[in-house]
Structure 1
């Protein structure tokens, strides 16, 4: 099994393996190019996004954007992310349709062993899924292995450490259910 296959399977892997280093370098280059473009250069920005994350439909991401690989990010139709989106995509990140992110959202599938010696040479990840019609407020952090259900609203500054059922408002550190969305 290659280090990339281990990474995608959520097993411990060597992040410094040459293939993974090259894939990260390509993604960092694409993010850098995207971040340097004038906001009016929407055609070029969309070309970079199409190559980096292959969105499934309409997608608008404000600069700055940072990701590890890009190829592990799946974005549905009608996606909007405000400034300073960070996605550490060592495992798959699935984002549904009609999703909005406030500024400074951080999504991390990456994590590390607790043991200090093991942590020196390996890491691992857990996939993240975000449903349809979700809104993440500014400065929200989504931790490895979390799933967020459809129609969830996550309040600004929240740290999502566990799954969220959806159809409600959630907030806090750690993030917890606040109220249902009645309609």
Structure 2
């Protein structure tokens, strides 16, 4: 049986950070604007290159540049809930799929789950999103991890993910 998301999850966000006709901002700036505009109250910090290298070393990966930039300038410092009940993870919470989810992973990321890093969960871990740090065609792609039958690629990059999430979040479900 295919999961059918409730229709209200498909509605566009009425508080997009940036109008569609405006030149795009870097993902970190668009996300921070959206957090402010929606009164999310998310406190973020700048992190050092040494702090960013820690998960890279732990998981033997190199972060995609737009994701690295987000963590460098917008890393949340504590548990948070945005307008969509998303909890954005800070640099200290970043984990790969096996460390956070466990060994049961669908065919979407076979043999590469250790190279996908979670960065956001929904509503106290109903599902979550992870970014590929693999050195292959999946690099930078964002996947929804929601159970073996529901896992899927939802964005081609972190920047693409942020734009979808802040403008019409049903597009990342």
TM-score (norm 1): 0.27
Q: Which has the higher contact order (CA 8 A, sep 6+)?
A: 2
TM-score (norm 2): 0.28
